[in-house]
Amino acid sequence: MQIHLIAVGNKIPGWVVNGYEEYAKRLPRECSLKLVEINPGHRGKNANLEKAMVDEEHRIFDAIPKNARVVALEVKGKPWSTQQLSQRLESWLGGGQDIALLVGGPEGLSENCRKRADELWSLSPLTLPHPLVRVLLSEQLYRAWSILQGHPYHR
C-alpha cells in the first residue's frame, strides 16, 4: 500500500519540506508516503476563484491513483484521534488498497473533490496553513504506524 498525499500548492518553504521529509522517510515500504504537488489555479487581482478551483480539481483527479481509497482533508470532516488514525491505518494496510489524501488550496477543495472522497477527515476545527498540513499529516501517519508497531515514539 502506498499513501499519496495530493496537495495543492508549490513554492513551499524549506522548513516545511524538511519537516515533511523527516517523517515520510521514517515510514516503512509497506505504507510509504508519496507527495504529489498540484499546481494551484490562477489567483490574483480579479481572478476567477471558481475557475481556479475547477482547474485544481482536474489536476487532483488526474493524480488520484486508479482504485485508491480517497480521503479528503476537510474542516467539516470527521475528527480522528491519533489512536483512531492508527486503527484506520491498520485497516488500510489490511485492505492493501492505495490511499489518496487530498489537501486543497487556499479556498479548500471543490465540491466535486469532496463528493469523490470515500471519507472526509478533519485535522482540526482551526484553519491551518496548507503547507503546515503536510508536516502534520506526515508526523501523524508516522505516529499512527509507530503505535501499530509498539514503537516507543508515541509515548
Residue range 21-77, pLDDT digits in tens: 999 999 999 999 999 999 998 888 888 888 889 999 999 999 999 999 999 999 899
- 128 assigned to a ligand binding site: yes
- 150 assigned to a ligand binding site: no
pLDDT number for residue 128: 85
CATH class of 1-147: alpha beta
β-partners of residue 4 are: 34, 100
- 81 assigned to a ligand binding site: no
- 73 assigned to a ligand binding site: yes
pTM here is: 0.94
Domain ranges of the chain: 1-147
Q: Strand runs (DSSP E) across the chain, as ranges? A: 2-8, 32-38, 69-79, 99-103, 119-122
- 131 assigned to a ligand binding site: no
